[in-house]
Amino acid sequence: MNQLDFKGRHAVVTGGATGLGYAIAGRLIASGGSVTLWDRDLPAAERAALALGATAQAVQVDVSQHASVQAAVAATLQRSPRIDALVNSAGITGPNTKVWEYPVDAWREVVDVNLNGLFYCCREVVPVMRNAGYGRIVNIASVAGKDGNPNASAYSASKAAVMALTKSLGKELADTGVRVNCVTPAAVKTAIFDQMSEEHIRFMLSKIPMGRFGTPEEVAALVGWLCTEECSFSTGAVFDLSGGRSTY
């Protein structure tokens, strides 16, 4: 594992109780920083913080609720005066079904968490970073947002929107010390697989030229670097993590 420099820095990781968010939090702590795990599952986030050690703490938030995000920012700033990095990892897949059969409520929930929730988090944390004159935001999009996976329309559409939001916000902040980027992983085996059909998981694996799933540590390696000061001339950019699947 390469040594990243996140010394003295503090990150908020949404969806940090498990999966990719948890691995990213671990990498940032191993790089010398501290982390606040934001998750709607508070007991899981507290267990995760305990496992990560004294430089991790947990805050309950439902990112799909604007007021909940505002409260989480206030709670975080009470304990840590700065937010140097924001990693937006909270996300859900929604059901694997065709557009014409897609339950309307499920569609709304996916967009509320994956897109609107990420917008609320950026909206509330950016002023903190602008005031400090420094920040790194990393949004976890998906290769589904580039390709448009069949039977995952809400998920794919929400992740395409995350890429566009990243590009807009990156440009808006380009003349500040805040950098905004996103990553587009192909399938990585985490608890999120429990939300998908076996057929869909087989489909995703079949699309990866390396013939294997990614690992949370591989995602954390790139996201960790994007959270460091050294990531200085990239903003509004989309970074690939797809085992060769993506062609752009």
Ligand X SMILES: NC(=O)c1ccc[n+]([C@@H]2O[C@H](COP(=O)([O-])OP(=O)(O)OC[C@H]3O[C@@H](n4cnc5c(N)ncnc54)[C@H](O)[C@@H]3O)[C@@H](O)[C@H]2O)c1
Coil, strand or helix: which one is 241?
strand
Residue ranges in contact with ligand X by CB under 6 A: 14-15, 17-21, 39-41, 61-64, 89-92, 113, 117, 140, 142, 185, 187-188, 190-192
Q: Are 219 and 188 in contact (CB under 8 A)?
A: yes
Whose Cβ is closer to ligand X: residue 112's or residue 229's?
A: 112
CA distances from 66 to 62, 69, 88 (A): 8, 5, 15
Active site residue 102: no
Tokens of 93: 């897949």
Residue of 4, 1, 11 whose CA lies nearest to 228: 4
Question: Catalytic one among 22, 102, 155, 248?
Answer: 155
Whose Cβ is closer to ligand X: residue 31's or residue 242's?
A: 242
Report the C-alpha gap between 20 and 183 in whole angstroms.
12
CB of 40 to ligand X, least distance (A): 4
Residues that are catalytic:
155
